[in-house]
Structure 1
Amino acid sequence: MSRREQILAALAMTLTGHLPATVRRNEVLPEKVPAAGLVILRDGEPGEPDLTLNPRTAFYAHRAELEAYMAQDPRGGGEAALDRLLGAIGAALRVDETLGGLAETLTPSAPEIAALAIEGAPPLLTARVIVTVDYQVSDPLTG
């Protein structure tokens, strides 16, 4: 398994083990969000690496994306529940910022919060958080 896949799998496991919400990876948004919320990890973009030549090493600042969803009452509300979920995400990321030594560090962005209306479903509050994972490999395809 490549270092990139190990890191993303470890990130998913960390979130699953520490969040009250359901955690999924690279899934489409379901029609119904669990009462405790939903977090979808998107693999994101590793970007262009910084390279050294002797020994050849690629340094990545991989931008994975977390989408957090919380059901909203049609009359409004839900902001406090989404805020608690975001706090839990932050705490989960701080449990092991190296993901067992696979990464150098994890750096979450501030959340981008919005409301989402889905036909035939209750409205949702959403938050998008970019988690930058810094790591290095000797081979970008298998390292």
Structure 2
Amino acid sequence: MSSHREQVVVALVAALKAALPNAEVERDAPWPTRSSPGGLIIVRDGDPGQPEQTFSPSAFTYQHPIPVEFFSPDGAGDRHALLDAMLITAGAAIVADRSLGGLCNWLEATAPAPEDIVSSGSQPLRAAVVNIVAEYTTSNPLA
């Protein structure tokens, strides 16, 4: 059985894959030098930080920022518009299921921080980092 933290990250990866089926979605992949034709998304595990703890019954509530890196398709004509479309689609998927199938109390994305990334060969990739904050409660910080 996976920890609650692991289940949340796996569910987020699955939600992004379903929302953006043409993009390559990876978890904790090395920094890319190229993107795929449908774009690239890298989900980092992030640090859940210190929980808010309650007693009787014992519960630990985390606000876990999960960094997600979005990369426009390699060689894209209008990389700004394509990255924006990827972000809008991901945002709609988050709004459609704020609980990630019941794993979270709430799921919220922060504003993107876009920038150009120099890639090998062609024009720069347009990329953005978005923190997706998952609030969830567990009875054990290791479970």
User: Does TM, normalized by the shorter one, top 0.5?
Assistant: yes
The answer to whether the aligner puts 1:52 opposite 2:54 as a matched pair is yes
1:85 matched residue in structure 2 = 86
The answer to whether the aligner puts 1:136 opposite 2:134 as a matched pair is no
Q: Which 5+ residue runs of structure 2 have no aligned equivalent? A: none
Number of residue pairs matched by the alignment? 141
Q: Which 5+ residue runs of structure 1 have no aligned equivalent? A: none
The structure whose residues are more often strand, as a share, is: 1
- Which SS does the other structure have where 1:45 is aligned? coil
- Which SS does the other structure have where 1:127 is aligned? strand
Q: Percent identity?
A: 36
1:107 matched residue in structure 2 = 108
1:13-61 deviation per Cα after TM superposition (whole angstroms, max 9, x unaligned): 1111111311111101333211221110011110110111111111100
Do the aligned partners of 1:71 and 1:122 also contact (CA within 8 Å) in 2? no
> Which one of the candidate residues 31, 42, 45 is aligned to 1:43?
45
- Which SS does the other structure have where 2:99 is aligned? coil
- Which SS does the other structure have where 1:88 is aligned? helix
- Range 31-40 or range 82-91, more displaced: 31-40
1:96 matched residue in structure 2 = 97
TM (norm. structure 2) is: 0.91
- Pairwise mapping of residues 21-32 of structure 1 onto structure 2 (< 5 A)? 21-32=23-34
> Which one of the candidate residues 32, 44, 68 is aligned to 2:70?
68
Amino acid aligned to 2:25? V
Do the aligned partners of 1:111 and 1:128 also contact (CA within 8 Å) in 2? yes
TM (norm. structure 1) is: 0.91
Measure, in 2, the Cα distance between the counterparts of 1:13 and 1:2. Answer: 16
